[in-house]
């Protein structure tokens, strides 16, 4: 393994790409500590202690703690992700976007441009909401989070945070074009992994204070390795449908006559179902935080709290639903069948056209079920650990859930790109004898 790491830095082009990527990620982490002007940090820290378990806490995880501190990167890259998902969903409904998706490189450029415009619009609206939300808050000790509220603060916050989001979008595109890996995914990855040292230190303090035995700590780290291995196994899982292309004679040349396959992933939807399900499940608790403490509201919140089996049931059910829903959005069996028929491809034993589309849809439906159940189990697992072993919520995020899935997906994608550079120049594979298979990005 040490020799393989040395090989990475022996290739000048690859070394330059890696250092360029690391430099831009350092810039991102530096910006996560520059607070928006006009905020009292002491009052903000006191206020934040009340809303850890709400939708804001989930959002803060994706932006690496920048939202909690209301920094210039408070929205992170999430407006860009939201705009991308919206356009992807519109592509399955509106003919205009469907046409763009089929226009090849030019169509992708136009979709990227619309995504950028959508990112700016969403960032403006969200930053305005952040400014209104922050300036209305008061810490438990009575300190105002924003000492001088008003339109001056709101406009300053909107301009600062929107500019930070656009800058992050540019950073992500620069990493994708000139660095290693998908830049947008790496920014989210770094934001999540930045919490890992603090989570480990919390567990070490628990051990030093005598609240946790050494055996329990070792068991937790061993469990983290096992769960990560399981996530890697399921993330790489595929169902290969064989495809045969008939021979075609064009002039003096013969085309086709080759065998290939369609790789259908067990987890086609990636991490999106968990994000959607978490956002919905956090809504009641988030609303209760601002509506007060009436008895009816508190009853609903207690039924849907993280410690309630009702929460786990609805959470898992929503994940399964969104897994099927998003798979149907991103993968259309009819389009696959039409493209195969257009280029003379067919599945052995299955007629081209509608029969092929029905066959692909049937296979996709069957393999999506274990993928959806696996997502639900990974998402719910940290809550069982927190309840049974009294583990901190920060550390439990690395034992499953959205954070672990994103970390595994980004690492596999980045290693696959590094390995491609090494193999092109006849170096040993980065992972030894194991060859990483290419995969779609998870977002």
pLDDT tens digits, residue range 10-36? 778 888 888 899 999 999 888 888 888
Question: Longest Cα pair distance anywhere in the chain, in angstroms?
Answer: 84
pLDDT band for 56, please (50, 70, 90 cuts): low
The whole-angstrom separation of Cα 83 and Cα 81 is 5
Q: How many C-beta atoms surround the C-beta of residue 290 within 10 A?
A: 11
- CB 165, CB 184: distance < 8 Å: no
- CB 415, CB 436: distance < 8 Å: yes
Q: Which domains does the chain have, with CATH numbers?
A: 1-194 (1.10.3370.10), 196-399 (1.10.3370.10)
CA-CA-CA-CA torsion sign (93, 95, 99, 102): positive
Q: What is the mean pLDDT of residues 304-309?
A: 67
Q: DSSP readout, 199-250?
A: HHHHHHHHHHTTSS-HHHHHHHHHHHHHHHHHHHHHHT-EEEEEEEE--EEE
Q: Regarding beta strands 253-255 and 248-250, do their DSSP bridges make them parallel or antiparallel, or are they unpaired? A: antiparallel
Q: Is the pTM of this model over 0.85?
A: no
Q: Whose structure tokens read 């209760």?
A: 288
- pLDDT tens for 124-164 read 988 888 888 888 777 777 778 888 888 888 899 899 999 99
């Amino acid at each position: 393994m040490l020799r393989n790491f040395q090989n990475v830095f022996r290739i000048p082009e690859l070394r330059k790409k890696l250092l360029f990527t690391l430099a831009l990620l350092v810039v991102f982490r530096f910006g996560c500590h520059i607070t928006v002007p006009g905020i009292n940090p002491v009052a903000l820290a006191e206020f934040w202690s009340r809303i850890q378990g709400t939708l804001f806490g989930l959002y803060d995880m994706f932006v690496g703690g920048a939202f909690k501190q209301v920094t210039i990167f408070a929205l992170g890259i999430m407006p860009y992700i939201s705009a991308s998902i919206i356009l992807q969903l519109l592509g399955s409904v509106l003919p205009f976007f469907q046409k763009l998706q089929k226009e090849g490189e030019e169509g992708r450029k136009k979709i990227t441009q619309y995504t950028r415009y959508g990112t700016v619009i969403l960032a403006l609206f969200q930053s305005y909401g952040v400014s209104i939300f922050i300036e209305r808050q008061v810490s438990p000790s009575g300190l105002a989070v924003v000492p001088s509220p008003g339109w001056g603060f709101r406009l300053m916050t909107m301009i600062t945070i929107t500019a930070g989001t656009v800058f992050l979008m540019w950073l992500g595109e620069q990493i994708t074009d000139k660095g290693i890996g998908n830049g947008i995914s790496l920014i989210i990855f770094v934001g999540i992994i930045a919490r890992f040292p603090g989570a480990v230190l919390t567990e070490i303090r628990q051990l030093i204070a005598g609240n946790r035995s050494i055996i329990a700590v070792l068991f937790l780290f061993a469990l983290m390795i096992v769960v990560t291995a399981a996530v890697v196994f399921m993330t790489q899982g595929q169902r290969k449908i064989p495809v045969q292309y008939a021979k075609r004679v064009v002039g003096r040349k013969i085309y086709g006559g080759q065998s290939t396959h369609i790789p259908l992933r067990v987890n086609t939807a990636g991490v999106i179902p968990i994000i959607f399900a978490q956002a919905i499940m956090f809504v009641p608790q988030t609303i209760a935080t601002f509506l007060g403490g009436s008895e009816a509201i508190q009853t609903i919140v207690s039924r849907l709290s993280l410690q309630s089996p009702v929460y786990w049931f609805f959470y898992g059910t929503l994940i399964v639903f969104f897994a099927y829903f998003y798979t149907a959005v991103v993968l259309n069996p009819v389009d696959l069948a039409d493209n195969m028929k257009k280029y003379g491809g067919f599945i052995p034993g299955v007629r081209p056209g509608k029969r092929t589309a029905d066959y692909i849809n049937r296979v996709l439906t069957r393999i999506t079920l274990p993928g959806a159940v696996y997502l639900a189990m990974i998402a719910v697992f940290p809550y069982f650990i927190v309840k049974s072993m009294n583990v901190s919520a920060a550390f439990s995020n690395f034992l499953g859930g959205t954070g672990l899935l994103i970390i595994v997906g980004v690492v596999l994608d980045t290693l696959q790109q590094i390995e491609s550079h090494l193999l092109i120049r006849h170096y040993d594979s980065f992972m030894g004898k194991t060859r990483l298979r290419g995969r779609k990005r998870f977002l």
